[in-house]
Amino acid sequence: MSGTSLDGIDAVLVGFEQDHPIVLSKFFMPYAEDLKRSILELQHPSHDELHLTQLMGNRLAELYSGAVHSLLAQEPHLPVRAIGCHGQTIRHRPDLGYTLQIGNAALLAELTGITVISDFRSRDVAAGGQGAPLVPAFHDRVFRHPEIHRAIVNIGGISNLTDLTPGLPATGFDCGPGNMLMDAWCMEHLQEPYDRDGSWAESGKVLPGLLDRLLAEPYFMLPPPKSSGRDLFNLGWLKNHLQNDEAPEDVQATLLQLTAATIAQAIHGAQEIYLCGGGAHNIALRRALSRLLPATIIRTTNDAGIDGDYLEAIAFAWLARQNLMGIPANLPLVTGAAHPCILGAVYSA
Ligand SMILES: Nc1ncnc2c1ncn2[C@@H]1O[C@H](COP(=O)(O)OP(=O)(O)O)[C@@H](O)[C@H]1O
Ligand SMILES: [Mg+2]
């Protein structure tokens, strides 16, 4: 898994008993700064971008292969059935009928000798869906409680929510920016990839006027199904809302509050929230969420036995498994697809 935060690659070797994951080894490979910059450049139109995108796909396949080999070095004797490889999103435009995750899956199969399942989102988009989020089906299998209303919130570059109301099918959507804007602002002003524990944000104060302008973004008012990415929430979007007299730490405090507020307004009556993704480490963000949802118990998925830093990687291993078993894994109620689909393209070993 390599998400929109562009922090790096989460790799996990996982087996399943029914749908329950058993994690055998984990490996995180951070992206070098120059790689991150090059991927960011591919998010916008540029000269010769088609060629550059293909070259980047090859480079990513080599990194994914390195991550796989590091995982297997920890468990050398286990046969591996398949790799589920999400790839790196460089465009997400379900409104125009496409979403693009790069990472040359054919090359990854070649470099590892293992069958690769990739391009999980396109089939759902082809069926009229958002192609995202895809993790709610997995959340439903592992976190549903018969009596307790739970919500799972993944705070990656974008934050997404899965609602598990007892007796009702799972619902979910992308709430809005998770870490992405905070990371970008932090890089611009502190030359740091992220605001550790949200401490810089806590040194500033929320600017109510700016927060209101950001919250007025029509995306937040749209009913689900909906999904988002860097195509909408990027530094340019933020700067369009600034008056340029704000203290940088106050902007950071406001961005943190924006993430918390858009998550809180997506929660409808859940008794328990389980956080996962890198944003779950952001202590200030968790405090802000608790203030907005005082009656809700807020935990991390680690408290439920699944490492929140690897949950999405585990979910894509599960999605790969569903593909190989010929089982549709999108939730039309979540993505808006016209029907259930088998997700992913197979590159056989
Ligand atoms: N200790 C921390 N404090 C604040 N933010 C953190 C911390 N650890 C990780 N993060 C955030 O989590 C992000 C990575 O989250 P991740 O779940 O991998 O997102 P994605 O799926 O988009 O790659 C980092 O870019 C950073 O913003
Ligand atoms: Mg990540």
Interstrand relation of 88-93 and 272-276 (parallel, antiparallel or unpaired): unpaired
Q: Can you tell me the mean pLDDT for 224-231? A: 95
Q: How many CA atoms lie within 13 A of 268 on its CB side?
A: 11
Q: Can you tell me the mean pLDDT for 206-227? A: 97
pLDDT digits (tens, 9 = 90+) for 46-66: 999 999 999 999 999 999 999
Do residues 142 and 19 touch, judged by C-beta distance below 8 A?
A: yes
Q: How confident is the model at residue 76 (pLDDT cuts 50, 70, 90)?
A: confident
pLDDT digits (tens, 9 = 90+) for 128-178: 999 999 999 999 999 999 999 999 999 999 999 999 999 999 999 999 999
pLDDT digits (tens, 9 = 90+) for 121-135: 999 999 999 999 999
**pLDDT value at residue 77:** 85
Interatomic CA distance for residues 35 and 33, integer angstroms: 5
pTM listed for this prediction? 0.97
* Pocket of ligand 1 from Cβ distances under 6 Å: 3-5, 7, 156-157, 179, 183, 194-198, 277-279, 281-282, 312
Can you list the domains of the chain with their CATH numbers?
8-131+310-347 (3.30.420.40), 136-304 (3.30.420.40)
Nearest CA, atom 7, ligand 1: 281
**pLDDT value at residue 22:** 96
Q: State the closest ligand 1 atom to the C-alpha of 157, by its place in the atom list counted from 1.
A: 22
Site to substitute for ligand 1 among 134, 194, 285, most atoms within 8 A of C-beta: 194
User: What contacts 302, CB < 8 A, 6 or more positions away?
Assistant: 308
Nearest CA, atom 11, ligand 1: 278
